[in-house]
Amino acid sequence: MSDRSRSTIEGPMTPLPATLSVTEVLARRLGEVALLFQQSLVNDLPAVTRLTQHVERYRGKMLRPTLVITSGMAVRDGSPQSASVDHRLNALAAVVEMIHMSTLVHDDVLDEADLRRGGATVNTLRGNETAVMLGDFLISSSFHLCSSVGEPWLNTALGAMTTQLCAGEILQLSHRGNVSLDDQTYFEIIRRKTGVLAGACCGFAARLAGGSPETSEALRLYGEELGMAFQIQDDVLDLIGDEQVVGKTLGIDLRKGKLTLPVVIHLARCDGTQRSQTIEAIEQGDVGGLVACVRSTDALNAARERAMQFVSQAKSRLSRVTESPSRHMLESIADAAIERTS
């Protein structure tokens, strides 16, 4: 893999015509990133390549690569095109997508407890063992690809970021089924679990693109806050989304004992009787019952409001970035995080 990924990064890349819009440049770059992603996972063992092709099924909106490419464009807006910077941004985009995919694959690993409850989500791949190894392969490949970028600071920053991400997952697991989870701990969990990766996409891209430390930090915070808004919207959709639109079973968090923001807010607001009813709905995995409980204290709207606050905070960080079509796109991405229905 080493030689292939390196030659892809250092190889020639046709400069794009200056007349292309931000959306068109982004689309071209995402196509290149998807190719690099795929090429980097090709292995000399056919068994491995066959398995990594399953990962394609997980591919969604490519939000994280989009954040990398758009942040890079926002920082470089107006400066001359540089193929080597574009190559590095593409590689970073593939790296963060691999990290994201590995978390999705590992999230699919079922607990014995889940298996006992029966009828819970079924691993779409080939059982726990393969899911664990595929996730590990993705993590390894991402660090390998990252080191080929040739920026030693990026390796250190990536290692620190993924360590924080894992710590967030562990923190969440340690609070599984804790109906007294307070909102500060909840925010700390989602900051580490979702925020830091999105923050890294923007902050690392800004630094690769030559942004000042202040601009890079502003973009990192933009990403982190956007990521948190995104996670809260996920929480809301896990309760009241349309299964057909969301594309996954509702109430997964509930069944895994993961308290989401609407539930955390509701439990802090409700009285003793409501609390018992809510805990019963949680224990029985009764999504409909839980939604009724949560609505009674207007906690769904309160959660949505908190997400909106994160979005405005994220957008305010962009004042450090020169006004441009790419900056405008970053604003639109932030708005879309809470407007989406899937």
Cβ proximity to a second copy: between 58 and 308 the closer is: 58
Residue with tokens 């400066």: 79
Kindly tell me which residue out of 16, 35, 81, 129 binds a second copy, with binding defined by CB under 8 A.
Answer: 129
- Which residues contact residue 159 at a Cβ distance below 8 angstroms, ignoring those fewer than 6 apart? 143
Helix residue spans in the chain (DSSP H) = 2-10, 22-40, 46-54, 63-76, 83-107, 112-117, 128-147, 152-174, 183-190, 196-208, 213-240, 243-246, 252-255, 261-269, 272-283, 287-296, 299-317, 325-339
Cβ proximity to a second copy: between 84 and 163 the closer is: 163
Residue range at the interface with a second copy (CB under 8 A); choices 44-52, 262-270, 283-291, 328-336:
44-52
Give me the least distance between CB of 300 and a second copy, in Å please: 27
Cα separation, 192 vs 188, in Å, equals 6
Q: What is the rounded end-to-end Cα distance, in angstroms, of the chain?
A: 34
If you write DSSP's letter for every residue of 37-90 in order, what string do you get?
Answer: HHHHT--SSHHHHHHHHHGGGG----HHHHHHHHHHHHHHTTSPP-HHHHHHHH
Cα separation, 154 vs 151, in Å, equals 5
Site for a second copy in 1-40 (CB under 8 A): 1-2
Give me the least distance between CB of 140 and a second copy, in Å please: 4
Cβ proximity to a second copy: between 2 and 212 the closer is: 2
Site for a second copy in 50-109 (CB under 8 A): 51, 102, 106, 109
Give me the least distance between CB of 273 and a second copy, in Å please: 32
Site for a second copy in 305-324 (CB under 8 A): none
Cα separation, 264 vs 72, in Å, equals 36
Give me the least distance between CB of 118 and a second copy, in Å please: 16
Cβ proximity to a second copy: between 7 and 163 the closer is: 163
Site for a second copy in 131-190 (CB under 8 A): 132-137, 139-141, 143-148, 150, 152, 155-156, 158-160, 162-163, 165-167, 169-171, 173-174
Would you tell me which residues interact with a second copy (CB under 8 A)? 1-2, 43, 45, 47-48, 51, 102, 106, 109-113, 123, 126-130, 132-137, 139-141, 143-148, 150, 152, 155-156, 158-160, 162-163, 165-167, 169-171, 173-174
